Structure 1
Amino acid sequence: MYHENFGIQIADHQHLKIYYSISKIRNIGIIAHIDAGKTTTTERMLYYSGYTRRIGDVDDGTTVMDYLKQERERGITITSATITFAWRNYRINLIDTPGHVDFTIEVERSIRILDGAVTILDAVSGVEAQTQTVWAQANRYNVPRIAYVNKMDRVGARFGRTIREMKYKLGTTPLVCQIPVIQKDNRGNGLFCGIVDLLDMQVLNWNKDPKGSVVNKTPLTDKYPIMGLYDEAIKGRSSLIEALSEMDDNMLDLFLSAEDHMKISVEDAKQALRRVTLNGKAVPVFCGASFRNIGVQPLMDAIIDYLPSPLDRSVPIASLSDDESVEILPKETEKLCALAFKVIYDNKRGPIVFVRVYSGKLDNHMTLYNTNIHHKERVNKLLQMYANDAEEISSITAGNIGVIIGLKETRTGDTLIQFNDSRKSLRLKNIDIPAPVFFHVVEAAGISEEKPLEEALKNILREDPSLHVHVDKDSGQTLISGMGELHLEIVKDRLLNDFKVKAKLGKMRISYRETVIDDKIDHTYLYEREIMGKRLKAQISLTITPIHENDQGSFNEGGNRIILNLTKKTIISDELDQSINNQETNELIKLSIEEISNAVYTGMISSLYRGPILGFPITRLSINVHSLRLFGAESTKTAISTCASQALTDALKDRNLVLLEPLMNVNIDVPEEYLGVVLGDLTGTRRGNVLGLETSGNLFDNLDNNIKIYIPPDPIFFSSNNNDKIINPKKVIHAHVPLSTMLGYSSSLRSLTGGTASFDMRLSSFGIMSDDRAKAVIREMQGGF
């Protein structure tokens, strides 16, 4: 089949139309720091599996996975792409995720539904900052992982150093399953030319085919021409078996009964390695150079051998109420339960909803029920996605990932069940969505463009839950908030080019927060108003206390805690029971406790979204609603919601309110000769606080060698180019910096260091502004957006 969007040949999908049992399914993701080689590695997987007939190239913009115009122009992954292919009679549902911190929501919602992951590491850079971020995300969901050290052909590649960094930076136990084969040329330069599989003691190389389709295997013996390779492999295998015996009881029995580790079979070692991977005790590590077509097929084998099927994962738990939950068994014979983990908008198809089916079977034209928004939805069509290509299918079975066309209201994180299912309150665990820290004002170019802009923003907001859009009540301006400068730059580009909206975006601003620092606020508020001849009335009593930064516990949206102690006893007082007539009582009974609670909660969230100082979101408040007085038919859901919203606003009026500014964790890789000027800039005008300083390349070289993991020796230097020079290790600066001073830092850092330094940053917390700084921000903001 010829794919018109990419101009490349795509192989037939007939091998994916066969039925795969749930044990033959692998739902995996590729996670890593930006530019570690995620998409390059994925493109090789597609080629070797027979999915494509040509290897896509990131630099040429011919990849299957990076299909957006913005991705091809920038050479980076912006949105996670899903693709399905077969390998060794297994079905692999693979998600290629972005590595840029601005698109962390793409990683978060992908990891939420994955069974396993491949972490790709750059052999030159080692464990980078965003790698630590995505690793922590995977830890939160207990996702088993394998690791692949890529770019072993590059100058400065150090496999052993990367293994050490995995242990000490990621807090994991790396188990080396392969070691690189380094061969010197006639000039004395080291060339990466293959790998040694430590399990079956074979040397693998790809010399017979420039595209890497043919894997040549040679048994490794003490006669192998590269001096020391056999002895090092023996050491590596021995260490691997010993490590497995420490973590796996079955392997321990084999280890104690065997005369030496070489007599333990490859299959026994693989089974032990699979067990310790699935239970999270260790991470198998492989190596290669994807761009040079080295090492990808063994990595694909490792996905099958060591990463879990849906049956190997712990059974998902869904809530039915605050105190009741149910296990979601991964069986087709069970009732349907699926999670919508991503929504994108397509000009031809409309909203496309990506789902992971946890139990049951999702059929075409089925009527569904969204338990989060209590809405009926109908399936118009089911698709199997191949990045931007799609194929219509009749069903999505338990354990699989697919796409639904036709859902009008479903969003990221919503739970879907069959409409006739009685479990209307069933909900799977939601997806954590980070708070946005930047915002733009966006305005339509003219009155005729207001409606198209509104529709475009609605579609983008549904696609990307880390974006926030709201209208400033005072100025009437529309504000769009995002995770970073690149994030909002992509949104702007999509508005203008993809949605063809004529709009203007204002200057980028920081999204601050507001909070109150009073010890405790007790407040009772009576809402009473007549609207279009109908009287609305409700009364609410609440207590507000500040949440300190180090407080633990569950929080609602925006870093607040909303506690609703609403029961029949706290809603209707004895006095009210005596004062209302029978007709009013009947009207009151129509509202259930759940409906009343939802109305109060909605009102609270509405009020928290706009603070009294500058209209920024309010955070760090614990709000306890301990009583609600209703007045019969006058107390509608609208009255209750409005009462809750205005009660909170009134309670905060004239209180000790302060502005909070986002503080970022910043990591800067800088050559030593520029260290002074970068530190001076960081601690001076940028008000940064330096937390630590490390040497990038030799970070753990002086650690105790008696650690319990095998670390292969690294050559001091090897190169495929005689003109290459030794790359000196960089210094790594760790700092805490206010986000307001980091605007445009990328350009400033390039200017200070001649383009030799790089950095990344992520939100750490929100800190209270000094009085002078707060006054300056207020003056600036009140001067107009």
Structure 2
Amino acid sequence: MIKNFIGNYRIPLIKIQRCNLVHYRFYSSVKDYSISKTRNIGIIAHIDAGKTTTTERMLYYSGYTRRIGDVDDGTTVMDYLKQERERGITITSATITFAWRNYRINLIDTPGHVDFTVEVERSIRVLDGAVTILDAVSGVEAQTQTVWAQANRYNVPRIAYVNKMDRVGARFGRTVREMRYKLGTTPLVCQIPVIQKDNRGNSLLCGIVDLLDMRVLDWNKDPKGSVINRTPLTDKYPIVGLYNEAIKGRSCLIETLSEMDDNMLDLFLSAEDHMKISVEDAKQALRRVTLNGKAVPVFCGASFRNIGVQPLIDAVVDYLPSPLDRPVPIASLSDDESIEILPKENEKLCALAFKVIHDNKRGPMVFVRVYSGKLDNHMTLYNTNIHNKERVNKLLQMYANDVEEISLITAGNIGVIIGLKETRTGDTLIQFNDSRKSLRLKNIDIPAPVFFRVVEAAGISEEKPLEEALKNILREDPSLHVHVDKDSGQTLISGMGELHLEIVKDRLLNDFKVKAKLGKMRISYRETVINDKIDHTYLYEREIMGKRLKAQISLTITPLHENDQGSFNEGGNRIILNLTKKTIISDELDQSINNQETSELIKLSIEEISNAVYTGIISSLYRGPILGFPITRLSINVHSLRLFGAESTKTAISTCASQALTDALKGRNLVLLEPLMNVNIDVPEEYLGVVLGDLTGTRRGNVLGLETSGNLFDNLDNNIEIYVPPDPIFFSSNKNDKIVNPKKVIHAHVPLSTMLGYSSSLRSLTGGTASFDMSLSSFGIMNDDRAKAVIREMQGGF
């Protein structure tokens, strides 16, 4: 171990030897930083906003790397997968740890593509804060709104960074305004760009003004951006109007903070001059309003030009929370009992597995966030979700694709466990000798897949490798589903989108070296019953290998509608089990199992019986009678069960429940449902007509609304005024350039089947100027002609 100095900070350096080449990389030891000096943050944004580019600069300036990686060249630390480097996009979230100002930062770089939204979801679930990166040219884009809504669900404090301020058409003020009205937040501008004309009349970004300490920051002396020049801003500054604009910006910032923070209000009322309120007081107020979610500090820069990144990392430390600043996580012990998980090292261990990846050499690598206690090497754990004992073989600290073996993971930190055999995304881990065996942290919401493809091995010898590869991929990505069609025997793999399944195909062939064939893209439909209440009693009686199995069940099936209230159990259904001592009847005694003799005869508890019934119903709901798609929108009430002594085993009860539901639906009025997507399209006004025509014509879309971009939150109930810095009319010297008119936003419901390939079509229709996002809205009933066409297509073979 050798020591290295960067500025005033001494940072440990680790020696990594590969292929006779020695690399030195900085790392943060687990023991070096207290929980109050830890920041668990994520980078979230629309695709191509500059997340990975910004992260690469963070790593370089913190001393982790000695060169700046480039997305276009495929040399970044964070995008280490072959598929990421080939496409120039982030596909899987990557975790890395580095030090800054004697703070430990655990950073997760997340994907921006809608197909990989589950990566954002499970990352945000364990983060304490986030940096939202915005494209200064495009403003608040479609996927930005999606990831912002995900962060809102978990109440994650955020700061914003307006990137690409060096590009033609960049408009900082417009982007701040869109944050207010598209994201429904209160942006607090902490920096403004310094724009200067060159000899040719072009507008150039030459620095930024820090409104808190009224200094101009520029990076002109070092092309790599390592050296920052800090110049006090006075009225003598050569750029006309910059000083006055900065005074206005700082005054507005202090005034807005005083409306949100009581301590700042006292300072505001007592100060003779708002400019004399200290930088430290302003920072503390800004931190408080950020942590409680009242506002979002906004910074600016151009990461590719190495401008503005160091102040952004400072803002992460100054304004985003440590684990101690976040609300205490609540875990459930039972349906009506919960417990607080205190972020202390001397508490009992409680950790959440939020991601699993498969490594060819190390096997399954489980990413965990430790919420309390300490996770030691070689500790024996208990998975409370699957009720399974697990043993830790190694603990690792991740540096994207590099690792450092560590001895423990302390409360508030993120690390990786090697050796867990069965743990999945969303599982809660405690120490094996902990008595709280039912303790569970809030799970991670996994969206339902909407596309599927057939996958089959190239030959018999490839079936086992394909099965193992699919098992590993499924464990890595919980948004993927795999099941075998019972009629055709084909294996179907379902995912979030075209690119999602394309990446799966690529990984099967290249990473797992499996010789497999994948069929064309298909839509995952649903089946349901309409206008039909069904009361049904079913007797199951069968002899298997000389053993007689028998059970009888009575149930009522009622169709549900989209707007029905109440809880739903599985796949949009409501399963009600009214199984008590009075409704479970023993045939031998012809009475409820209310006495000791009957209980001994059956030898099953009511909980075991209920679980068997539930399992049987779920298995039947997974495959409908029309085309074998999952059944949805049913209320299933099991109101009695007749048992036949030793013949009524758990298997008999489960099979009886499954076949009862299948038998009840035979010959009923069943229909196919197709997925309907909420589609939001940002389109320039000149292309509005052609996009609407395509949407309502061939794509069978239903337009719900049309509005001007930037007016999405016009009805926001917030009287706080925000400071919006002025934008130059345009950045280019070309006299033909015009001010870009605000885009129009189309809101529509569109069948998913017509949205295949829409990304390419939209680019073609609008010259690449439009963008869209879509999410599953509901499942709508198909008309008869469309349903018949789908049935003919599906029955004709995959």
How does the TM-score come out when normalised to structure 2?
0.92
Greater shift after overlay, 562-571 or 659-668?
Answer: 562-571
From 552, 562, 566, the equivalent of 2:579 is 566
- CA separation of 1:567 and 1:273: change in aligned 2, threshold 3 A: farther
Q: 1:490 deviation in Å?
A: 0.3
Greater shift after overlay, 662-671 or 254-263?
Answer: 662-671
Distance 1:13 1:571 in 2: 71
Distance 2:721 2:246 in 1: 17
Whether 2:312 is the aligned partner of 1:304: answer: no
Distance 2:354 2:233 in 1: 46
Q: 1:199 deviation in Å?
A: 1.0
Q: 1:422 deviation in Å?
A: 1.2
- CA separation of 1:726 and 1:18: change in aligned 2, threshold 3 A: closer
Q: 1:651 deviation in Å?
A: 2.5
- Please say if residues 39 and 96 of structure 1, whose CA atoms lie closer than 8 Å, have aligned partners that are also in contact: yes
SS in 2 for 1:540: strand
What CA deviation, in whole Å up to 9, does each residue of 1:215-255 have, x standing for no partner?
Answer: 11111111111111111111111111111111111111111
What CA deviation, in whole Å up to 9, does each residue of 1:17-36 have, x standing for no partner?
Answer: 99911111111111111011
Q: 1:569 deviation in Å?
A: 4.2
Greater shift after overlay, 757-766 or 454-463?
Answer: 757-766
Distance 1:702 1:586 in 2: 62
Q: 1:107 deviation in Å?
A: 0.6
Distance 1:461 1:702 in 2: 43
Structure 2's unaligned 5+ residue stretches are 1-13, 28-32
SS in 2 for 1:778: helix
What CA deviation, in whole Å up to 9, does each residue of 1:103-127 have, x standing for no partner?
Answer: 0110111111111111111111111
- CA separation of 1:565 and 1:88: change in aligned 2, threshold 3 A: farther
What CA deviation, in whole Å up to 9, does each residue of 1:582-638 have, x standing for no partner?
Answer: 998566675444433332322222112111111111122233333333333323222
Match of 2:674 in 1: 661
Whether 2:751 is the aligned partner of 1:738: answer: yes
- Please say if residues 349 and 431 of structure 2, whose CA atoms lie closer than 8 Å, have aligned partners that are also in contact: yes
SS in 2 for 1:572: strand
- CA separation of 1:10 and 1:263: change in aligned 2, threshold 3 A: farther
Distance 2:442 2:476 in 1: 19
- CA separation of 1:15 and 1:445: change in aligned 2, threshold 3 A: closer
- CA separation of 1:426 and 1:11: change in aligned 2, threshold 3 A: farther
Q: 1:213 deviation in Å?
A: 0.8
- Please say if residues 698 and 729 of structure 1, whose CA atoms lie closer than 8 Å, have aligned partners that are also in contact: no
- Please say if residues 582 and 594 of structure 2, whose CA atoms lie closer than 8 Å, have aligned partners that are also in contact: no
- Please say if residues 584 and 632 of structure 1, whose CA atoms lie closer than 8 Å, have aligned partners that are also in contact: no
- Please say if residues 42 and 130 of structure 2, whose CA atoms lie closer than 8 Å, have aligned partners that are also in contact: yes
- Please say if residues 58 and 309 of structure 2, whose CA atoms lie closer than 8 Å, have aligned partners that are also in contact: yes
Distance 2:148 2:575 in 1: 30
- CA separation of 1:291 and 1:314: change in aligned 2, threshold 3 A: same
What CA deviation, in whole Å up to 9, does each residue of 1:84-114 have, x standing for no partner?
Answer: 1111111111111100000011011111111
SS in 1 for 2:589: helix
Q: 1:200 deviation in Å?
A: 1.0
- CA separation of 1:178 and 1:552: change in aligned 2, threshold 3 A: farther
- Please say if residues 26 and 63 of structure 2, whose CA atoms lie closer than 8 Å, have aligned partners that are also in contact: no
- Please say if residues 181 and 712 of structure 2, whose CA atoms lie closer than 8 Å, have aligned partners that are also in contact: no
- CA separation of 1:688 and 1:584: change in aligned 2, threshold 3 A: same
- CA separation of 1:74 and 1:510: change in aligned 2, threshold 3 A: same
What CA deviation, in whole Å up to 9, does each residue of 1:631-669 have, x standing for no partner?
Answer: 333232222222222222222222221111111222334
In the TM superposition, what are the counterparts of 1:231-250 in structure 2 within 5 Å?
231-250=244-263
Q: 1:577 deviation in Å?
A: 7.2
- Please say if residues 161 and 701 of structure 1, whose CA atoms lie closer than 8 Å, have aligned partners that are also in contact: no
Greater shift after overlay, 246-255 or 63-72?
Answer: 246-255
- Please say if residues 8 and 54 of structure 1, whose CA atoms lie closer than 8 Å, have aligned partners that are also in contact: no
Count of residues paired in the alignment? 780
- CA separation of 1:330 and 1:593: change in aligned 2, threshold 3 A: farther
Q: 1:167 deviation in Å?
A: 1.1
- Please say if residues 581 and 592 of structure 2, whose CA atoms lie closer than 8 Å, have aligned partners that are also in contact: no
What CA deviation, in whole Å up to 9, does each residue of 1:547-571 have, x standing for no partner?
Answer: 3223344433322232334444444
What CA deviation, in whole Å up to 9, does each residue of 1:423-479 have, x standing for no partner?
Answer: 111111111111111110111111111111111111111111101100000110000
Greater shift after overlay, 255-264 or 139-148?
Answer: 255-264
- Please say if residues 577 and 639 of structure 2, whose CA atoms lie closer than 8 Å, have aligned partners that are also in contact: yes
Distance 2:624 2:681 in 1: 34
Distance 2:575 2:271 in 1: 60
SS in 1 for 2:682: strand
SS in 1 for 2:583: helix
- CA separation of 1:625 and 1:24: change in aligned 2, threshold 3 A: farther
Distance 1:201 1:218 in 2: 9
SS in 2 for 1:568: coil
SS in 2 for 1:569: coil
Distance 1:480 1:723 in 2: 51
Q: 1:705 deviation in Å?
A: 13
Q: 1:578 deviation in Å?
A: 5.7
Q: 1:16 deviation in Å?
A: 14
- CA separation of 1:573 and 1:16: change in aligned 2, threshold 3 A: farther
SS in 2 for 1:15: strand
- Please say if residues 16 and 25 of structure 2, whose CA atoms lie closer than 8 Å, have aligned partners that are also in contact: no
Distance 2:24 2:284 in 1: 27
Whether 2:454 is the aligned partner of 1:441: answer: yes
- Please say if residues 92 and 110 of structure 2, whose CA atoms lie closer than 8 Å, have aligned partners that are also in contact: yes
- CA separation of 1:727 and 1:734: change in aligned 2, threshold 3 A: same
Distance 1:82 1:505 in 2: 31
- CA separation of 1:709 and 1:605: change in aligned 2, threshold 3 A: same
Q: 1:677 deviation in Å?
A: 2.8
Match of 1:17 in 2: 25
Greater shift after overlay, 519-528 or 30-39?
Answer: 519-528
Distance 2:83 2:23 in 1: 32
- Please say if residues 11 and 51 of structure 1, whose CA atoms lie closer than 8 Å, have aligned partners that are also in contact: no
- CA separation of 1:171 and 1:479: change in aligned 2, threshold 3 A: same
SS in 1 for 2:672: strand
- Please say if residues 691 and 734 of structure 1, whose CA atoms lie closer than 8 Å, have aligned partners that are also in contact: yes
- Please say if residues 181 and 714 of structure 2, whose CA atoms lie closer than 8 Å, have aligned partners that are also in contact: no
Match of 1:31 in 2: 44
Distance 1:724 1:590 in 2: 82
Match of 1:3 in 2: none
Q: 1:387 deviation in Å?
A: 0.7
Structure 1's unaligned 5+ residue stretches are 1-5
- CA separation of 1:630 and 1:16: change in aligned 2, threshold 3 A: farther
Distance 1:37 1:410 in 2: 33
- Please say if residues 593 and 599 of structure 2, whose CA atoms lie closer than 8 Å, have aligned partners that are also in contact: no
Match of 1:529 in 2: 542
How does the TM-score come out when normalised to structure 1?
0.94
Match of 1:84 in 2: 97
- Please say if residues 41 and 291 of structure 1, whose CA atoms lie closer than 8 Å, have aligned partners that are also in contact: yes
- CA separation of 1:705 and 1:780: change in aligned 2, threshold 3 A: closer
- Please say if residues 115 and 308 of structure 1, whose CA atoms lie closer than 8 Å, have aligned partners that are also in contact: yes
- CA separation of 1:606 and 1:261: change in aligned 2, threshold 3 A: same
Greater shift after overlay, 447-456 or 625-634?
Answer: 625-634
Q: 1:773 deviation in Å?
A: 0.9
Match of 2:10 in 1: none
- Please say if residues 155 and 727 of structure 1, whose CA atoms lie closer than 8 Å, have aligned partners that are also in contact: no
- Please say if residues 16 and 91 of structure 1, whose CA atoms lie closer than 8 Å, have aligned partners that are also in contact: no
SS in 2 for 1:737: strand
Distance 2:430 2:714 in 1: 54
SS in 2 for 1:318: strand
- CA separation of 1:10 and 1:534: change in aligned 2, threshold 3 A: same
Distance 1:630 1:45 in 2: 66
What CA deviation, in whole Å up to 9, does each residue of 1:148-168 have, x standing for no partner?
Answer: 111111111111111111111
Whether 2:658 is the aligned partner of 1:645: answer: yes
Greater shift after overlay, 629-638 or 352-361?
Answer: 629-638
Distance 2:735 2:233 in 1: 29
Distance 2:445 2:156 in 1: 16
- CA separation of 1:689 and 1:49: change in aligned 2, threshold 3 A: same
Distance 2:439 2:321 in 1: 26
What CA deviation, in whole Å up to 9, does each residue of 1:360-402 have, x standing for no partner?
Answer: 1111111111111111111111111111111111111111111
- Please say if residues 15 and 86 of structure 1, whose CA atoms lie closer than 8 Å, have aligned partners that are also in contact: no
